[in-house]
Amino acid sequence: MRQLLLALALLAGPAAAQSPREARIQRSIDLREQWQWLTRDIAFPAEWDEDGRRFHYRKTVAGGFAFVDMDAKTRRKRAAFDAAALARALGRLLGTPVDPLRLPFEHFAFVDNRSAIVAMIDYAPIRCTLAVPRCEKVVDRSRPRGFGVVRDLKMPARNDPHRSPDGRLEALVLDDNLVVRAAGGGRELWHSQDGSAADFYDPESIEWAPDGRHLALYRVRPGYRRVVTRVVAAPPGRVQPEVVEQLYPKPGDAVDQERPVIFDTGSGRRIHVAEALFPNPWRLSDLKWRKDGRSLAFGYMRRGFGAAKVIAVDADTGAAHAAISEDSNTFVFDERRFLHDVGGEGRELIWASERSGWRHLYLIDGATGKATPITTGQWVVRDIVHVDDTKRRIWFSASGVTPGEDPYHKHWFRVDFDGTNLVRLTQGDETHDASFSPDARLFVDVHSRTDRPEIAELRDGETGRVIATLEQGDATALAAAGFRPPQTFVAKGRDGVTDIWGLVVRPRDFDPARRYPVIENIYAGPHDSFVPKGFWPFGGFSGGDKAMGMQQIADLGFIVVMIDGMGTANRSKAFHDVAWKHLDDSGFPDRILWMKALAAKDPSLDLGRVGIYGGSAGGQSTLNALLFHPEFYKAGVAFAGCFDNRMDKIDWNEQWLGWPVDKSYLDASGVVHADKLEGKLLLVVGEQDSNVDPASTLQVVDALIRANKDFELLVIPNGEHSAGRSSGPVSYAQRRQYDFFLRTLGGMPAGD
């Protein structure tokens, strides 16, 4: 028997032994689990109760996280809930064990007088009672919309009766027509007669005027119901494949056409609203009545994103005028629109605009449209969190205010409507994530930098004075384990003037005498900036998980960089406009110059061996690096890329490439330009990607095959959009990524 066991051991030995490369990969894979629980008291942004009395936040503790609840008046802290009991309840709902120190959510809200919480888990809302923990999925009864612009007419609309302000009447939609009747399902007073399935009244948009004399809602001509069909090839626990469908409008598709309609509630008379001021709408915002009930307003974005307005309508006549008009030769940034109606009267409006070349706040005369600047300067207003109409004061964040400081660091301010009394509430060369109480009298400030752990403080909302230190982040054990913060590096962009900011991560065993291949972690989506600015390196609000993943790759024997090139957000309008109709640009001229400037100062960078990786829009940029800049980028791993913008979601792509679909979509297409591929490419896609149609990847595969180009492909059955890139346990795809870069670019010390 002993001889048999020895023989088996000898046979198994060579197969079981890891090669130096495999061992190196495994060490990188293990790094996250070894490091991510070593910090203490790293706090995340707080969330306030509606009454402003209490707030809660998450922080790191031994082995995971804890949620802390605090009384803002007494400063008394306690656990937000019984984490062990909640974990058991979640485990029963999810069908898998849940660790109370690693609950599967970062944020939650107290509801029902703090007797329950609601949190998002896997993109779905979950409600859990606390006294006797029990969890259930929250069912959204509203009609789904594909990316907000096409209603799913196969699903019923939420059609609860809308009570009039005095409670005597109610309005709802029956057989596509508006019906007004006595409350409680009583006698019908009147109903519209022109609604149809092809031109229906939307019950989810009904709004009564405050005085009850009128009501308004949208009438809708349906857009095109495009459906993406996916095959679940290996459904868990089953043998036969399944088919799933998703409402998924794409660029150029017809969107729902909404038009506001006003009715006199006493007579049922329809008041016509002329549509000349809002032609070809992309989307109209919710109808909002002014306080006196004499008029209403709504936001309008023209399709193509070149013009936005705030339209005010007289309730008695239907006469409309543009209270605000915003036009651009490129795009109006839809996600960053901000409007506040001072006093709810329509006489004065607070509006955010980039008309000066920088995003700033303006006080708008609601009758004439005259705009008076509230903030000015070559810096950017970021978040507007509170407007006090009585004090005529605004609380907001901004970046780029202090010359010489990282222009992406957020600081917090307050200012009066007339632009005077600008008070800076936070200081220091750090980034600040603040959470304000509903009345802005207090705020929780979590501030840090890539080389400084988070500090959480309760502050005075008028002066910024520190009232109490809530948490002092401690990364001592993490540093002792070998963690070193990434290096910040700045170089000039393509214009020779503009500063381009990025990060550098080196191997823990870095030897300045060696030459290292360089790998860029890219995400160049124009909707934000992406290089981490906060400390915590394992995910969360600072975006630091990117830095952790970069360290894992660096330890394989690479220098890894991440850069915010031109075309991304949070700088000037001109900086941002570089992306307009040029998603193929991805800031590459700036990125390449940045890496060359770094190499000029650090000869350990080998720019003859440069790789790149990214997911989603970063996946598209990765492929385009190999297609359009093969003289610089030699290998790339593209996860879940939107490789042809005609195949991707309608909203994101029309925002940056416009409408109608034109040559700019072709210029950025990895399918159209697949024959230009040089270098080495690994494509990774999740079979069930609900964000980017996975057919986009397969169409690139088809084009590469037809062009006789060699590449590698990994399809992950049941994988979603984050397949291979999740911040949880490192996946099979990440192991393949590490191996790919080692095979194509080298890396690893010579002795390994």
pLDDT digits (tens, 9 = 90+) for 30-84: 898 899 899 999 999 999 999 999 999 999 999 999 999 999 999 999 999 999 9
Domain 144-325 is of which CATH architecture?
8 Propeller (2.140)
> Cβ neighbours of residue 105 under 8 Å, at least 6 residues apart?
119, 120, 121, 126
**pLDDT value, residue 752:** 55
In CATH terms, the fold of domain 485-745 is Rossmann fold (3.40.50)
In this structure, the number of other CB atoms found within 10 A of the CB of residue 87 comes to 19
Extended beta strands in 285-439, E state: 288-289, 295-302, 307-314, 320-327, 339-341, 348-353, 360-365, 371-373, 380-388, 393-399, 410-416, 423-424, 431-436
**Confidence grade of residue 123 (pLDDT, cut at 50, 70, 90):** confident
SS3 sequence of 289-316? ECCCCCEEEEEEEECCCCEEEEEEEECC
- Indicate the angle between helix axes 588-601 and 617-628, nearest 10 degrees: 70
490's CB contacts (< 8 A; 6+ apart) are: 499, 500, 501, 502
What pLDDT is attached to residue 545? 57
Residue 16 pLDDT level (bands cut at 50, 70, 90): low
* pLDDT band with cut points at 50, 70 and 90 for residue 749: low
- Name the CATH code of domain 338-449+451-482 (choices 3.40.50.720, 3.10.129.10, 2.120.10.30, 3.90.1150.170): 2.120.10.30
678-732 pLDDT, tens digit per residue, is: 999 999 999 999 999 999 999 999 999 999 999 999 999 999 998 876 544 447 8
What lies within 8 Å, CB to CB, of 408 at 6+ separation is 399, 400, 431, 501, 529, 531, 533, 564, 570
Q: Is 725 helix (H, G, I), strand (E, B) or coil?
A: coil
Q: Do domains 338-449+451-482 and 485-745 have the same CATH topology?
A: no
Domain boundaries, the chain: 47-140, 144-325, 338-449+451-482, 485-745
Q: Tell me: the pLDDT tens digits for 656-668?
A: 999 999 999 999 9
Is residue 750 pLDDT above 50, yes or no? no
Q: What pLDDT is recorded for position 7? A: 39
Q: Is the pLDDT of residue 627 over 60?
A: yes
d(CA 334, CA 339): 12
pLDDT tens digits, residue range 305-322? 999 999 999 999 999 999
In the block, tokens 């330009």 appear at 673
Average pLDDT over residues 284-290: 98
- The pLDDT assigned to 283 comes to 95
Facing residues of 217 across strands?
261
- Per the CB < 8 A criterion, the answer to whether 24 and 752 are in contact is yes
**Is residue 170 within 8 Å of residue 164, measured between CB atoms?**
yes
Three-state DSSP at 81 gives coil
pLDDT > 90? residue 254: yes
CA dihedral 156, 157, 161, 162 (to 10 degrees): 180
pLDDT (mean) for 198-224? 98
The tens digit of pLDDT for each residue in 166-197 reads 999 999 999 999 999 999 999 999 999 999 99
CA-wise closest residue to 61 among 26, 4, 101: 101
